């Protein structure tokens, strides 16, 4: 009798297990990662967990958290020249899990990767979209998982209770604490002055005033990097010894792999045509003048291009980081340095001798009768209005508005790449001895003049029609 009772219990156990298994529901998804040379590839190791937006976990005060699911079955494809890997992911959740509203992703790979987007399909045939567009750094560096919210927008008072605490924690983490040097993987938005344009440690000729924070030199704030101060001036931030694309900007503001590749390719092409002071003649035996038309044509020859490529590679190796040098070599393979023949002699070598061409060059060239004084320095004014003044608004938006806020969603496209461009410009364009000082007659006082222009900048004049009136494109009624 006892044996029969025990046997009946064993018979019931498989049924109970089957019952528990059938109570799980499946949420499937796809994760899209953009490949980049030496970083994002077809094979990465990452796990994902979902947060419910409709079911609260009473133990944490946040949405219910699913079990981990791993990215599998990566399938590579190419869209408009960009290589993208699509990963399948599958979550087993309880029937009362509700609708996902956010997810955590953990990078267990040794390299960072660029997360483009993600899509989830819930049992009710509903598709949930996540627009990510950010670099995900290894967990060994960040010590935390990365959180992404769905594309659904909420005002603060309308945020689902299950996401409210996550929203607050996310904003808190973005504000930082204002101390220490920022690492590449830190996702923090803090303010600082333009105190990194000069380099007093290189000599008195490299000293530049600090822009911002004073009545003498008013200027918009920039994103804080927290690098050590110079030995000769404790108020000036030190500069990297080598040019590096990894100068700190938060991961959300960094160039995408495609943009980064385009930037490197264009930079290599620009180096050829920019008169670096260190540049010496590629052929030391060349004279300073041309003896014949054949010598002029020789500038555009294949062997001359190869000589320039070799010279550039040698120079850059000592000027940039090892990782960036690898990126440059890869970009050069795809887009070799170009020395195209001038249009005027492309079809007819003697076209320059024609009377018609002579007259055209005289009329369209530098003609003293049409030179006029500028009311404002175009290069300085352009950078100030389109880049510098926007950066404080980017920082403020990231610190104060959640990505779920509808205003954040509207502003975000206008902020694209601005902080990274500004950071790079402080490295090679507007710094002491940079490109701006070399191409403008104002030279080392160019940024001081930019500060003087900013003194009259007003927020209420940036909209329409006030902006058009100020620039004399319209008349006030």
Q: Chain-centre distance of CA 415, in angstroms?
A: 10
Q: What is the per-residue pLDDT for 306? A: 60
Q: What is the per-residue pLDDT for 423? A: 94
Q: What is the pTM of this model?
A: 0.79
Q: Chain-centre distance of CA 361, in angstroms?
A: 41
Q: What is the per-residue pLDDT for 23? A: 77
Tokens of 68: 């981990």
Instruction: Compute how many other C-beta atoms are within 10 angstroms of the C-beta atom of residue 296.
Output: 13
Do 72 and 92 meet the contact criterion of CB atoms below 8 Å apart?
Answer: no
Would you give the DSSP letter of residue 434? S
- What domains, with CATH codes, occur in the chain? 26-175 (2.60.60.20), 189-239+372-477 (no CATH), 257-370 (no CATH)
Q: What is the per-residue pLDDT for 351? A: 76
Mean pLDDT per 10-residue run, the chain (477 residues)? 54 52 83 78 83 96 96 86 90 94 96 95 89 96 97 96 97 94 96 96 94 96 96 93 78 90 70 48 49 68 60 63 66 59 72 76 54 48 77 97 96 95 90 87 90 90 84 75
Rounded to the nearest 10°, the torsion over CA 55, 57, 60, 64 is -60
Residues 343 and 299: their CA atoms lie apart, in Å, by 15
Q: What is the per-residue pLDDT for 337? A: 57
């Amino acid at each position: 009798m006892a044996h029969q009772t025990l046997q009946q219990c064993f018979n019931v156990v498989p049924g109970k297990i089957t019952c528990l298994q059938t109570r799980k529901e499946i949420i499937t998804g796809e994760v899209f990662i953009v490949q980049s040379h030496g970083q994002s590839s077809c094979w990465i190791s990452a796990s994902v967990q979902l947060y419910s937006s409709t079911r609260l976990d009473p133990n944490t005060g946040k949405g219910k958290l699913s079990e981990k699911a791993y990215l599998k079955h990566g399938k590579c494809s190419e869209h408009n020249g960009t290589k993208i890997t699509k990963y399948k992911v599958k979550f087993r959740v309880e029937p009362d899990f509700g609708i996902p509203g956010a997810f955590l992703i953990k990078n267990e790979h040794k390299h960072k990767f660029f997360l483009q987007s993600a899509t989830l399909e819930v049992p009710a045939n509903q598709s949930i979209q996540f627009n990510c567009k950010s670099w995900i750094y290894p967990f060994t560096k960040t010590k935390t998982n990365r959180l992404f919210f769905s594309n659904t927008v909420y005002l603060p008072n309308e945020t689902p209770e299950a996401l409210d605490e996550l929203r607050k924690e996310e904003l808190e983490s973005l504000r930082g604490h204002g101390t220490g040097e920022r690492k590449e993987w830190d996702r923090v938005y803090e303010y600082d002055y333009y105190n990194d344009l000069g380099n007093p440690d290189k000599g008195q000729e490299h000293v530049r005033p600090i822009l911002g924070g004073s009545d003498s030199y008013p200027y918009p704030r920039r994103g804080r990097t927290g690098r050590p101060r110079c030995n000769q001036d404790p108020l000036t931030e030190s500069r990297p010894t080598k040019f590096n694309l990894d100068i700190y900007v938060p991961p959300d503001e960094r160039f995408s792999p495609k943009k980064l590749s385009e930037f490197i390719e264009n930079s290599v092409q620009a180096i050829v045509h920019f008169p670096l002071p260190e540049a010496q003649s590629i052929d030391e035996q060349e004279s300073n003048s041309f003896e014949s038309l054949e010598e002029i044509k020789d500038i555009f020859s294949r062997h001359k291009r190869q000589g320039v490529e070799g010279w550039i590679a040698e120079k850059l190796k000592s000027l940039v980081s090892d990782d960036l040098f690898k990126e440059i070599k890869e970009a050069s393979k795809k887009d070799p340095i170009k020395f195209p023949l001038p249009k005027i002699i492309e079809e007819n070598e003697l076209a320059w001798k024609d009377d018609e061409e002579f007259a055209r060059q005289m009329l369209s060239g530098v003609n003293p009768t049409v030179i006029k004084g500028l009311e404002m320095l175009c290069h300085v004014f352009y950078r100030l209005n389109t880049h510098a003044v926007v950066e404080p608004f980017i920082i403020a938006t990231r610190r104060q508005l959640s990505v779920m806020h509808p205003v954040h969603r509207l502003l975000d496209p206008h902020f694209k790449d601005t902080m990274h461009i500004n950071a790079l410009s402080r490295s090679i364009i507007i710094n002491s001895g940079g490109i701006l000082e070399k191409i403008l007659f104002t030279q080392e006082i160019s940024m001081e003049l930019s500060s003087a222009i900013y003194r009259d900048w007003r927020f209420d004049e940036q909209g329409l029609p006030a902006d058009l009136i100020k620039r004399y494109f319209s008349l006030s009624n």
